[in-house]
Amino acid sequence: MSDTDLPLAPTGGCGGGCACGADAEGGHQDHDDHAEHAEYAECGLDPALAGLLTDAGLDPVEVEDLAHLAIQEDLDHGVDVTTVATIPAEAVATADFVAREAGVVAGLRIAESVISVVCTDEFEVERHVDDGDRVDAGQKLLSVTTRTRDLLTAERSALNLLCRLSGIATATRAWADALDGTRARVRDTRKTTPGLRSLEKFAVRCGGGVNHRMSLSDAALVKDNHVIAAGGVAQAFQAVRRAFPEVPIEVEVDTLHQLREVVDAGADLILLDNFTPGECEEAVAIVGGRALLEASGRLTLDNARAYAETGVDFLAVGALTHSSPILDIGLDLRKAEQ
């Protein structure tokens, strides 16, 4: 992606939670712009940034709240004592977010949001790449010009989120590459960091994966404990169908016998728990396209292709969000160009 596609973007700066933003000359946007971005009125982020977050499937108010939480945790109701002591209040600099290793980036607009809640003045952003792009070690990802104090105060919180999400995207991309050319897609689970689910699932999408349910309420997943409590796998499925007829239902099965029961009962999606590739292939033949199939358990990058080639639709990989290492990204400060 070229710099032409990702030009300098003035943003931030009005203070007091103002959502109006500012134009390229530093003035406020006109009345029509306010009307166009009225949907972001409750968000203190710049409307253009809020729009980018929304386009990515994220709630800008939630992102802003998380940014405030991260900064509050770091400051602990005080100030950045090192930065305040060493940096003049009027000093301005440019900070470059730089990949220290190759991977897939995710969370750049979230990093911008963290900077936005710290900055007391308008700041400029130069976007070199976009979320979901593969990057090389040493590649510049994002450049921000504003008060030096604000950049250094926001640095760790912005990097914590950016490195975490980029690590998830990088791991997901390795799985997506392993499945390339098959019908199977790698899918996440609800094994996410409390408070960061929407961001971590966004990172999975950036890496080429797809999301499972976002919450307990948007889809049903009948697991072994539900089966025990309900008296059988078919009984558990039918109980959910009666209570919530419009909700998609996935049912976990441990055996081919259970599989036959639930597919005959009308399950939409069936989770094959700890099946071998051979058993998955047999399950695909039994179902014959009447339901989607998801393999879970025993999955590694080494055997992912073997599972995908059985004809299942999804591979469920909880490790995408609970065990992915961070992608090493740093922030390099330089004097702002005059």
User: Residue 201 catalytic?
Assistant: no
User: Residue 191 catalytic?
Assistant: yes
Residue in 252, 261, 294, 313 annotated catalytic: 252
Q: Which long-range contacts (CB under 8 A, 24 or more apart) does 311-315 make?
A: 311/183, 311/280, 311/281, 311/284, 312/184, 312/272, 312/280, 312/283, 312/284, 313/183, 313/184, 313/185, 314/184, 314/185, 314/186, 314/187, 314/210, 315/175, 315/179, 315/184, 315/185, 315/186, 315/187
Euclidean distance between CA atoms 128 and 150, whole angstroms: 21
Residue in 134, 156, 197, 213 annotated catalytic: 156
User: Residue 112 catalytic?
Assistant: no
Q: Which tokens in the block code for residue 201?
A: 């699932």
Sign of CA dihedral 60, 191, 129, 186: negative
Sign of CA dihedral 251, 252, 256, 257: negative
Residue in 134, 190, 191, 260 annotated catalytic: 191
> Taking a C-beta distance cutoff of 8 angstroms, is the pair 16, 53 a contact?
no
Write the CA distances from 51 to 38, 56, 187, 204, 245, integer angstroms: 11, 9, 26, 20, 35
Reference 120, options 167, 79, 166, 65; nearest CA is: 79
User: Residue 73 catalytic?
Assistant: no
User: Residue 273 catalytic?
Assistant: yes
The most distant pair of C-alpha atoms in the chain lies apart, rounded to whole Å, by 73
Euclidean distance between CA atoms 189 and 202, whole angstroms: 12
Active-site residues, by number, are 156, 191, 223, 252, 273
